[in-house]
Amino acid sequence: MDNSLVLLLLLTPFVGFLFNVFFGKKAGKTISGAIGTLAVAVSFVMSVYFFMQLNTSGKPIAVTLFDWIQIGKLQINFGILLDQLSLLWLLFVTGIGSLIHLYSISYMHDDENMHKFFAYLNLFVFFMITLVVGSNLLVMFIGWEGVGLCSYLLIGFWYKNQDYNDAAKKAFIMNRIGDLGFLIGIFILAYTFNTLDFLNLGHSITQFHNLPIPNGVDAWPLLSIAALCLFIGATGKSAQLPLYTWLPDAMAGPTPVSALIHAATMVTAGIFMITRMNFLFDVTPEVQNIIAIVGAITALVAASIGLLQNDIKKVLAYSTVSQLGLMFLALGLGAYNVAVFHVITHAFFKACLFLGSGSVIHALHGEQDMRKMGGLRKAMPITFATMLISTLAIAGIFPFAGFWSKDEILMTAFEHNKVLWIVGSIASIMTAFYMFRLMYLTFFRDFRGTEEQKHHLHESPSLITLPLIILAGLATVGGLINLPKPIGNGWLNHFLEPILATKHKEESIFEGNALMLMAIALTGAIIGIIWAYSKYIKQGFVPKEDAEIVGFSKTIYNKYYVDEVYTALIVKPINALSNFFRTTLEPALGNVIYGFGSAANGLSNLGKSLQTGSIGLYLFAFVIGVLALVSYLFLAQ
């Protein structure tokens, strides 16, 4: 029973994908969209079912579909593991996925390739589910690569624009760099433990931990390297320094894609993976330190870039990078449950923000520059209200979801390292500022676009606003799942306990220090909001044209020239090398090869002239040859 239900959960989106690939065009846009949405909704229902089952029984569901690879002692099954962690991820991946599919029916309705869009989205959900439910690292890797592929396909969905194709390629290549790290990490673990199964690995590493010198070989450095490699994989997928540059460019894809893949689900895969492997990271504290530092720096850098971006989706993209940085900060401090909490709340409000920005872009017929927006509040009340709620949530205003989760991250940071706390807090203040800057520029004061656009301003249809309302609702109450004591009972913390190797001593308690930290965080957020208010509402400041930006702002506006640095340091040398190979090495090698060819050709031409076709001559040569042989034999004796 469970087996077939698990397969239903896993394969329905794939069936949706197949349908949309083969019959989508014939079926028409509405049916294609409906099937795509239904396929994901079925998975969501199954996730809820398994979640209920887990909640009552408390036992994870493990299913082995088939034996996959057996080499020597290494055995890998194609197994599925539905435990607390994977079910949480499943719930929000398929839940938010369904909402975004629903939204896309309306949003993509004018696109001629709508069936293709839904096919890719379904395929993405399928791979994301594979990633999440895999019971070992290799199954996870299939999903990991698959979502990367779908991300590539969807970023370049409007393939007629060369810039979009370039963005897609950039995302793919950046991810590939990280994936190489991930793969090496997998190899090291397979080599060391002869298994890739999460449960066995956890068991082995915990045992390993207790032995002073395992098997007479000092394998500890190997474990650290493995952890570091896995983290490199995570930086690629989850857009952390130094591999984050693909995510802002990935905004070239349609907005629902940005919401689903590049905000709510795929980019959290790195966090999922590290949480899955928490037993490994717990025993490699030096790697944890690196994770915390990288996370904090990413949060700060991305937030500061977000301050001055004018493209509404770019602001959200940098905000995503920054929030992911905060999650990594929590991971690095060993607070996996806190990171997961923030992943979930972030998925709610960031999906809502992206879908809201999509609604705005839809209303403005593709305009993404906030300098040409403004005053949309009256024309689009629902979009405005839902986005405002999500903005409050991401800024960390009480009592919205983001307040609770971000606050827990900052609190954890405060307990471990004050510097990290300060960095995180500054990033949070910046977040509050740029998010309200976005709101003020988009929805307040007067409309700055063309007259024609103004004439056509309208609220989006209900298929677009419905997901917005649901997500805004979740962004409001999402914090409930993990309220600190004594107001709540930290449900998520308890729920996640079975999958964490190290139990956390400190419960987040709502008193003393914690209360003060909350107050500080709240004040910081409000300062950010007031700062934005005074600049963009009171003074009515509108960001300048690109050419007029000077000084340090220009550096930030141009994203610290990171792309340019990468181009100069990596892309250009590689291009130069390829060019050298193409213009010098290849012809040189080619000439050698051709040399052999033409030498053989010349020799055969020479030999050809012997073959005159005169049988008399052949016979003569034959007799001479025999004579020569015979006389040689005589002489040799």
Partner 1 sequence: MNNILNQIGIENYIFLSILLFCIGVFGVLYRRNAIIVFMSIEIMLNAVNLLFVAFSTYHQDAKGQVFVFFSMAVAAAEVAVGLALLVSVFRNIGSVDISNLKNLKG
> Would you tell me which residues interact with partner 1 (CB under 8 A)?
607-616, 619-620, 623
CB 294 within 8 A of CB 197: no
Q: What stretches of 108-161 show up as alpha helix (H) in DSSP?
A: 114-133, 137-155
Q: How far is the CB of 625 from partner 1 (least distance, A)?
A: 13
Residue closest to 230 by CA, chosen among 152, 328, 149: 328
Q: How far is the CB of 619 from partner 1 (least distance, A)?
A: 5
DSSP 483: P
Q: How far is the CB of 637 from partner 1 (least distance, A)?
A: 19
Q: How far is the CB of 599 from partner 1 (least distance, A)?
A: 19
Cα–Cα distance for residue pair 156/169, rounded to 1 Å: 8
Tokens of 89: 């991820």
Pick between residue 212 and residue 607 the one whose CB is nearest to partner 1. 607
CB 402 within 8 A of CB 345: yes
Cα–Cα distance for residue pair 453/457, rounded to 1 Å: 6
CB 400 within 8 A of CB 379: no
Pick between residue 577 and residue 623 the one whose CB is nearest to partner 1. 623
Residues linked to residue 77 through DSSP beta bridges, in sequence order: 67
Tokens of 9: 């959960």
Q: How far is the CB of 18 from partner 1 (least distance, A)?
A: 60
Cα–Cα distance for residue pair 308/555, rounded to 1 Å: 10
Pick between residue 3 and residue 612 the one whose CB is nearest to partner 1. 612
Tokens of 55: 């909640």
Alpha-carbon distance values, 141 to 92, 128, 129, 227, 542 (Å): 20, 10, 12, 15, 45
CB 253 within 8 A of CB 121: no
Pick between residue 366 and residue 607 the one whose CB is nearest to partner 1. 607
Residue closest to 318 by CA, chosen among 335, 300, 331: 300
CB 515 within 8 A of CB 486: no
Q: How far is the CB of 595 from partner 1 (least distance, A)?
A: 24
Tokens of 13: 């989106």
Please name the residues in contact with 104: beta carbons below 8 A apart, sequence gap of 6 or more: 33, 36, 117, 118, 121, 254, 256
Alpha-carbon distance values, 393 to 317, 405, 469, 525 (Å): 16, 10, 14, 11
Q: How far is the CB of 608 from partner 1 (least distance, A)?
A: 4
Q: How far is the CB of 153 from partner 1 (least distance, A)?
A: 57
CB 243 within 8 A of CB 177: yes
Pick between residue 623 and residue 628 the one whose CB is nearest to partner 1. 623
CB 51 within 8 A of CB 84: no
What's the farthest any 2 CA atoms get from each other in the chain?
Answer: 117
Q: What stretches of 267-311 show up as alpha helix (H) in DSSP?
A: 269-276, 278-282, 285-306
Residues linked to residue 66 through DSSP beta bridges, in sequence order: 78
Residues linked to residue 136 through DSSP beta bridges, in sequence order: 197
Q: How far is the CB of 616 from partner 1 (least distance, A)?
A: 6
Give the 3-state secondary structure of residue 61. strand
Taking phi over 0 as left and psi of -120 to 50 as alpha, with beta for the rest, 216 belongs to: left
Q: How far is the CB of 628 from partner 1 (least distance, A)?
A: 14
Q: How far is the CB of 636 from partner 1 (least distance, A)?
A: 22
Pick between residue 576 and residue 627 the one whose CB is nearest to partner 1. 627
